[in-house]
Amino acid sequence: MTHRRWIPTVVAVLLASTLAACTSSGQDELQVWMQTERNSIKPSVQPIPEPTKFVPQAYLGERQMQPFSEEKLASVLRGSQSAPVVNAALLEPELNRRKQPLEAHPLDAMAMVGSLNRDGKLVALVKVDSLLYQVRPGNYLGQNFGRVTRITETEVVMREIVQDSAGEWIERAAALQLQEGASK
């Protein structure tokens, strides 16, 4: 009976030694293959291009009035006589007219979602707070006295009256672009 206990142990030892002998030759082949692959690989490094030469430019704005200078501040505080006339002519008609519903909302809360052709003229579809409005040239949009001047298939072009940094009222162009799939 003691002989039968040793047989599985002897078989296991023989099997382990046989496997150890086989793996050493496989590893040698693997090491040789890895070394040949390392030697055959050459990295391809692109050279860095030469930096462009910096050419300094002369500052030409020093001849103009500085935006925060005392002269500019004094002229605003004095209120030049020509500016109020221009401001009044630009702003007075806007203050004397009745406000339209879309002037209660800022432009960034609006989205142009399409356009229609009504009697040969384009009408823009503008969405505000899940309501859809038809906008024609001459209508007003936004909170800056924005009057629609032109409508295309992809945008509503308008002119707004806003205050500049000196507090003077000026006209500027603005547009409301077509927003496909807008969920505003």
Report the largest interatomic distance among the alpha carbons of the chain, rounded to a whole angstrom. Answer: 125
What confidence score (pLDDT) does residue 150 get? 93
Q: How confident is the model at residue 23 (pLDDT cuts 50, 70, 90)?
A: low
73-119 pLDDT, tens digit per residue, is 776 676 654 444 446 677 777 888 889 999 999 999 999 999 999 88
27-31, 88-92, 135-139: segment of lowest average pLDDT: 88-92
Report the pLDDT averaged over residues 134-143.
92
Alpha-carbon distance 84 to 160, whole Å?
Answer: 18
Number of H helices, E strands in the chain: 3, 7
Alpha-carbon distance 153 to 158, whole Å?
Answer: 14
What confidence score (pLDDT) does residue 24 get? 55
DSSP annotation of 178 reads: B
117 forms beta bridges with 122
What confidence score (pLDDT) does residue 82 get? 47
What confidence score (pLDDT) does residue 64 get? 75
Backbone angles phi, psi at 172, to 5 degrees: -145, 155
What confidence score (pLDDT) does residue 21 get? 60
What confidence score (pLDDT) does residue 28 get? 83
Report the pLDDT averaged over residues 144-149.
92
Using the predicted structure, report yes or no on whether residue 160 has a pLDDT greater than 60.
Answer: yes
Q: What's this model's pTM, rounded to 2 decimal places?
A: 0.51
Q: What is the mean pLDDT of the chain?
A: 81
Alpha-carbon distance 166 to 162, whole Å?
Answer: 11
Using the predicted structure, report yes or no on whether residue 36 has a pLDDT greater than 70.
Answer: yes
Please report the beta strands in the chain, taking only residues with DSSP state E, as ranges in sequence order.
Answer: 110-118, 121-128, 131-135, 140-141, 146-151, 155-163, 169-177
